[in-house]
Amino acid sequence: MDDFWADAERHLIRYNGAGRFVPEIIGRAEGSFVVTEDGRRLLDFTSGQMSAILGHSHPAVVATVQRQAATLDHLFSGMLSRPVVDLARGLAQTLPEPLSKVLLLTTGAESNEAAIRMAKLVTGRHEIISFARSWHGMTHAAAAATYSHSRKGYGPAAPGNFAIPTPNAYRPDFTTAGGELDWERQLDFAFDLFDAQSVGSLAACIVEPILSSGGVLDLPPGYLAALRDKCHERGGLLILDEAQTGLCRTGDWYAFERDGVVPDILTLSKTLGAGLPLAAVVTSPEIEQQAHERGFLFFTTHVSDPLVAAVGVTVLDVLRAERLDHRAAELGAYLSKGLNELKQRHEAIGDVRGRGLLVGLELVADRVTKQPADALGQAVTRRCLELGLHLNVVQLPGMGGVFRIAPPLTASPAELDLGLEILDRALTGATA
């Protein structure tokens, strides 16, 4: 295999914490599969980095990239082009009022950075609340609001950041008399703690409607509205990070639709570019006007780039034409049914949860005690890869291996069946 791995070892900075890469050289990708250089087809149950909602190399996206790269790819950041305005208008048409003002950027971290910056400027405050299992990105303000992974060793985070408990129905900390998660009492407790530490300067709460890196934890119905109210009572804005849940993955165009809660600021990324680097911040005309009057500055190299904006327009067109919100709901129900059938056969499966085609499967050593099964998660991941399935397992303190299962919205039932079959075989082998 020439000197590929030696060159990778010699020249690449290891950026994923553990320093491990998937031990395959990927040569190409198509639809629901990535293909190694030696011709092995791996079923992609993570949609790349939870992004390729239309599958890999979707013909409409390929055609748009070819056309746009040949005509208009990148501009001075103060210039505008038709794809940028077309995408801004198209996004606004998919959203409830008053979300109609759009800023186009590149990554989820960048969109969250811009949203937090805007919230601080508009409110004149600096405190930020996020979940103790959150992941919002690796730039400064986004990383300061991220608690699910490595905070140690990088020096002080941005001042004024506060973590609140994550509602986890499978592992509840506050419980009702019947042993169910008492999220209302948990939320009251969280804000009692915040109020005791706050200097009275809440700018925003930033949360995912379904925490993905946090273990695919869906907020209980009613939680988002209660969180919004507590945030607004203290003068802060509600920022919803729908990097992974936005644009049909959950069975709705946006995950917040289930709760009828419209955020003050919405951030999108991953799914918006269907795998290409495109992100957005969306807010109301009132908040945008206040930010503008106070001199809002987020002038980056690739803000409002026409090439990826054109791709975003195509993504919206395909989602709409193929009714992929309905498809995600139907395929999600099919996938969850299959995973629950596996749960009946495998004692190691403790919980199946999620919405649409964003599903979490948590492995445990014991269903009664819910003891984490960290090593098992890694073993199943390795065996799945050997059998032709790429899965991502999230290892978090106090939780076992949680598989984040997020196939493309264009996947077929047969491909889902194949993934379930491979997972079944991997679990059988790893637990034997």
CATH number reported for the structural domain that contains residue 406 in this entry:
3.90.1150.10
Helices assigned H by DSSP within 173-253: 183-197, 223-233
The residue segments making up the domain with residue 195 are: 70-320
Q: Which of 270, 327, 355, 383 is catalytic?
A: 270
Of 311, 356, 279, give the one whose Cα is nearest residue 107. 279
Q: Which of 117, 327, 355, 404 is catalytic?
A: 404
Give dist(CA 326, CA 55) in Å, integer: 17
- Sequence letter at residue 339: L
pTM for the predicted model, two decimal places? 0.97
The order of strands in the sheet holding 26-30 is 26-30, 33-36, 41-44, 389-390
Residues 6+ apart with CB under 8 A from 208: 131, 134, 135, 214, 240, 241, 242, 243, 244, 245
Give dist(CA 159, CA 144) in Å, integer: 8
Q: Which of 241, 305, 362, 415 is catalytic?
A: 241
Give dist(CA 285, CA 262) in Å, integer: 14
Q: Which of 68, 110, 133, 244 is catalytic?
A: 244
The CATH number of the domain holding residue 221 is: 3.40.640.10
132 occurs within a structural domain: yes
* Cβ–Cβ under 8 Å, residues 125 and 203: yes
Domain co-membership, 335 together with 314: no
101 occurs within a structural domain: yes
Domain co-membership, 198 together with 136: yes
Domain co-membership, 273 together with 356: no
* Owner of token pair 């509600």: 238
Of 325, 350, 327, give the one whose Cα is nearest residue 340. 350
Domain co-membership, 314 together with 371: no
Domain co-membership, 414 together with 344: yes
Annotated catalytic, 208? yes
Annotated catalytic, 14? no
Which two three-digit tokens encode residue 245?
């849940």
Q: Which of 303, 320, 337 is the last residue of a domain?
A: 320
Of 18, 21, 29, give the one whose Cα is nearest residue 5. 21
Three-state DSSP class for residue 175: strand
Domain co-membership, 349 together with 297: no
* Cβ–Cβ under 8 Å, residues 351 and 170: yes
* Cβ–Cβ under 8 Å, residues 157 and 233: no
pLDDT of 151: 87
Give dist(CA 236, CA 202) in Å, integer: 5
Of 135, 137, 148, 50, give the one whose Cα is nearest residue 396. 148
Which two three-digit tokens encode residue 77?
């950041």
Q: Which of 101, 127, 135, 252 is catalytic?
A: 135
The DSSP code for 261 is -
411 occurs within a structural domain: yes
Annotated catalytic, 244? yes
Which two three-digit tokens encode residue 154?
């990088």
Q: Which of 44, 208, 252, 362 is catalytic?
A: 208
pLDDT of 374: 84
Annotated catalytic, 289? no
pLDDT of 255: 98
Q: Which of 287, 320, 353 is the last residue of a domain?
A: 320
211 occurs within a structural domain: yes
Successive 10-residue mean pLDDT values, the chain, 432 residues: 88 84 95 97 97 98 98 97 98 98 98 98 98 96 92 91 98 97 98 98 98 96 98 98 98 98 98 97 98 98 98 98 98 98 97 98 95 91 96 78 96 98 96 80
- Sequence letter at residue 194: F
Domain co-membership, 127 together with 255: yes
Domain co-membership, 116 together with 214: yes
273 occurs within a structural domain: yes
Domain co-membership, 190 together with 328: no
The phi, psi pair for 317, rounded to 5°, reads -60, -45
Helix (H) or strand (E) segment spanning residue 361: strand 358-366
Annotated catalytic, 183? no
64 occurs within a structural domain: no
pLDDT of 150: 74
Give dist(CA 192, CA 44) in Å, integer: 43
Of 312, 253, 244, 294, give the one whose Cα is nearest residue 104. 312
Domain count, the chain: 2
CA 157 to chain CA centroid, nearest Å: 22
Q: Beta partners for 204?
A: 128, 237
Domain co-membership, 238 together with 330: no
pLDDT of 400: 66
Domain co-membership, 264 together with 344: no
Domain co-membership, 338 together with 389: yes
* Cβ–Cβ under 8 Å, residues 206 and 115: yes
209 occurs within a structural domain: yes
Q: Which of 265, 288, 320 is the last residue of a domain?
A: 320
363 occurs within a structural domain: yes
* Cβ–Cβ under 8 Å, residues 64 and 276: no
Annotated catalytic, 404? yes
